[in-house]
Structure 1
């Protein structure tokens, strides 16, 4: 998606930066700050990903004085070379280069709004220093190395700041993490997130320490501060409603796919049906999902939670089993039975497009309701599950044989 451009310094010198712009043509600015491995595939990929989120992204070459466009691998040789390049840096000059990048971003015709900075490892330190010394609107530090040595400037911080800290990080050890927490205790501009059981660089895919769950959580938290401070702000609820309209009402596959990113994925968790990528997801919708939607399908909303990059929808999914529903009841012929099933959709968006759907329901309750699972002597329920969801006064604990025995017993 991106390309290299030159950033011209006030001195007249120039250095390279990787640039990625959003499909809609303009957006707030974002400076991504590299690890010690230079502007490698990971950094370019993250720049493209944030461009999908709606940002004009620049990744400045922080090592240019030692040699332009260094790109290192994650092997021992790359690590040694990266440390050597790190030792050649002059921190004040690097902050100056980042300031030049910020000015270059603000001068672009496709820049609209504020500017934020996100840094990883080495870049995590410089994201923090940039928040202290430059005119930026927010900053995010992923496991920044050396932040604890610059905490005497902590009082200068005037922009919202996020720190992502890893429990097993030997490059930002416990003492350093505690110093960061102490320095910003009570500072409402700062959010510090701890990630248990993960190591330094847990957000870098392609490395052995990559942890997708922690990386995904950190990414959402990063987007939250970006959206709050520099935007862009999307109506995620309306985007999700548009997608479901094309699925269930219009039953229009091209229109449905137009609401999704270039590489979406869909996963109906109980049956593991769906697809990955435009081709497979479109095939799934066209030949297996949309034809399998019963005629009288109705979705009754229960609750909806909207975050920085996702929507969590809780509903009752109601239908008559008038056909084989391959995505929900694969291999089960139509029974003609009426079903009400609680269903939860966890939908992630990138910018103004859907990225993925995780759809959950209780398969046991569904099988009971269509008559292919006998609930006797099994800890499962049928339509009673749906009724209890909307009427809290209905009895609880009826599947627990010992529930009556605890009546009147002390609770402490």
Structure 2
């Protein structure tokens, strides 16, 4: 089972809350799980536990710790969905990258941990792309990342493997944005893109109305294989 922890912010001025799940045996790799805009809720904790069961140390940082620490929201509750949109508007991805750097540093200090991966969802999917362009993360996976089309000028900086899951009916990532992502990244030697025809944003959520069982199983299987190959 996992536990709530804190780890030092990059500048050492504060402690970042997070959820840490560890395997029963020693791990040689770790995975940072960057949440959606709903915080480190039960679904994100479930994802961490699943990674720990597969032998990885898994850490989900609280992305809203600066202004809404500990918040957990349910996207199927309209009021909570609107609350999440408000927090997303306050979120600064530049500071978010610093928090990912802090998580990398924390995990590199864990006994036996060598390589580190990152998987992010929604806004966390955007952070997965930014981590690939701005950090030394060993491998990154983004699910239905938003606003990546606006950051394609950074793609030359991707030095380690990046996998992006793109649902074609994502109502937060329009077809022209999806086309821009494919046009810029299809030929990139470090990037793999997978489209999910007819699926919408949030299809790989652990629970709730957005989940698509077949799509989630396919994407999660690809993610497991990707990390096994690049973090093994």
Match of 1:202 in 2: 203
State the Cα distance separating 1:154 from its structure 2 match: 0.9
Measure how far apart 1:61 and its partner are. 0.5
Please state which structure has a larger fraction of its residues in helix.
Answer: 2
Q: How far apart, CA to CA, are the structure 2 residues paired with 1:215 and 1:90? A: 28
Q: CA deviation at 1:34?
A: 0.4
For 1:187 and 1:15, the matched residues in 2 are separated by 34
The structure, 1 or 2, with the larger RCO (C-alpha pairs under 8 Å, 6+ apart) is 2
Counterpart position of 2:100: 98
Per-residue CA deviations over 1:379-412 (Å, capped at 9, x if unaligned) read xxxxxxxxxxxxxxxxxxxxxxxxxxxxxxxxxx
Counterpart of 1:119? 120
What is the TM-score when the length of structure 2 is the normalising length?
A: 0.96
Residue aligning to 1:355: none
How do 1:107-186 residues align onto structure 2 when only pairs under 5 Å count? Answer: 107-109=109-111, 111-186=112-187
Contact kept, 8 Å, 1:15 with 1:68, in 2: the verdict is: no
Tell me what 1:37 maps to. 38
Contact 2:47–2:206 at 8 Å: present in 1 too?
no
Partner in structure 2 of residue 82 of structure 1: 84
CA distance in 2, matches of 1:186, 1:25: 37
1:14 Cα deviation (Å)?
0.9
Q: Does the Cα contact within 8 Å between 2:46 and 2:206 map onto a contact in 1?
A: no
Question: Displacement of 1:147 after TM fit?
Answer: 0.9
Contact 1:63 1:85 in 2 (8 A): yes
After TM superposition, list the pairs within 5 Å mapping 1:340-379 onto structure 2: none
Unaligned runs of 5+ in 2: none
2:225 matched residue in structure 1: 224
> Structure 1-normalised TM-score?
0.55
Q: Bigger radius of gyration, 1 or 2?
A: 1
What are the Cα deviations for residues 221-246 of structure 1, in whole angstroms up to 9, with x where unaligned? Answer: 11121111112xxxxxxxxxxxxxxx
The structure in which a higher percent of residues are strand is: 1
User: 1:73-132, CA deviations, whole angstroms, 9 ceiling, x for partnerless residues?
Assistant: 1211111111111111111111001100110011112x4220000000010000110111
Looking at structure 2, the residues matched to 79 and 211 of structure 1 have their Cα atoms a distance apart, in angstroms, of 19
Would you identify which runs of 4 or more consecutive aligned residues in structure 1 move more than 3 Å? none
Q: Distance in 2 between matches of 1:86 and 1:56?
A: 27
Shift of 1:15: 1.3
What's the counterpart of residue 362 of structure 1? none
Q: Distance in 2 between matches of 1:82 and 1:127?
A: 19
Cα distance in 1 for residues equivalent to 2:22 and 2:3:
9
* CA deviation string 1:324-358 (max 9, x = no partner): xxxxxxxxxxxxxxxxxxxxxxxxxxxxxxxxxxx
Partner of 2:20: 19
Tell me how far 1:185 sits from its aligned partner.
2.5
TM-superposition CA deviations, 1:356-375 (whole Å, max 9, x none): xxxxxxxxxxxxxxxxxxxx
Alpha-carbon deviation of 1:216?
Answer: 0.6
Report the counterpart of residue 5 of structure 2 in structure 1: 5
Contact 1:140 1:163 in 2 (8 A): yes
Q: Distance in 2 between matches of 1:35 and 1:228?
A: 25
Counterpart-to-counterpart distance in 2, 1:96 and 1:112: 20
Whether the 8 Å contact between 1:132 and 1:158 is mirrored in structure 2 is yes
Q: How do 1:247-258 residues align onto structure 2 when only pairs under 5 Å count?
A: none
SS of the counterpart of 1:117? strand
Matches of 1:210 and 1:92 in 2, distance apart?
30
Count of aligned positions: 230
